[in-house]
Amino acid sequence: MTPGDAHIAAPLAELRDITRSFVQAGRETRVLRGISLTLHRGDFLALVGSSGSGKSTLLHILGLLDQPDSGTYALNGRDVAGLDDEAASLVRSRFIGFVFQSFYLMPRASALENVMLPGMYTGERLSSMRERAMALLDQVGLADRVGHIPAQLSGGQQQRVSLARALFNEPDLLLADEPTGQLDAATSEDILALFQEINASGTSIVVVTHDPQTAQAARRSVRVHDGLVVADGGPAPAPACGDGDAPSATASAGLP
Residue 58 lies in a domain: yes
DSSP string, 101-141: TT----TTS-HHHHHHGGGTTTT--HHHHHHHHHHHHHHTT
The parts of the chain modelled with pLDDT lower than 70 are 1-9, 234-256
pLDDT digits (tens, 9 = 90+) for 24-62: 888 888 999 999 999 999 999 999 988 788 999 999 999
- Asked whether residue 158 is assigned to any structural domain, the reply reads yes
Beta-strand relationship, 44-48 and 70-75: unpaired
Overall residue count recorded for the chain in this entry:
256
3-state class of 29 per DSSP?
strand
Characterise 169 by phi-psi region: left (phi > 0), alpha (psi -120 to 50), beta (else).
alpha
Distance of CA 210 to the CA centre of its chain: 15
Instruction: Tell me the residue range of the domain where 225 lies.
Output: 40-67+80-253
Q: What is the pLDDT of residue 234?
A: 63
The answer to whether residue 125 is domain-embedded is yes
Q: How many structural domains compose the chain?
A: 1
Domain annotation covers residue 22: no
138 found inside a domain: yes
Identify the CATH number of the domain in which residue 112 sits: 3.40.50.300
Residues 18, 35: Cα–Cα separation, whole Å: 5
**What per-residue confidence (pLDDT) applies to 235?**
54
The confidence score (pLDDT) of residue 149 equals: 97
In a domain, 153, yes or no: yes
The answer to whether position 179 is within a domain reads yes
Q: Give CA–CA dist 33/50, Å, rounded.
A: 16
The answer to whether residue 120 is domain-embedded is yes
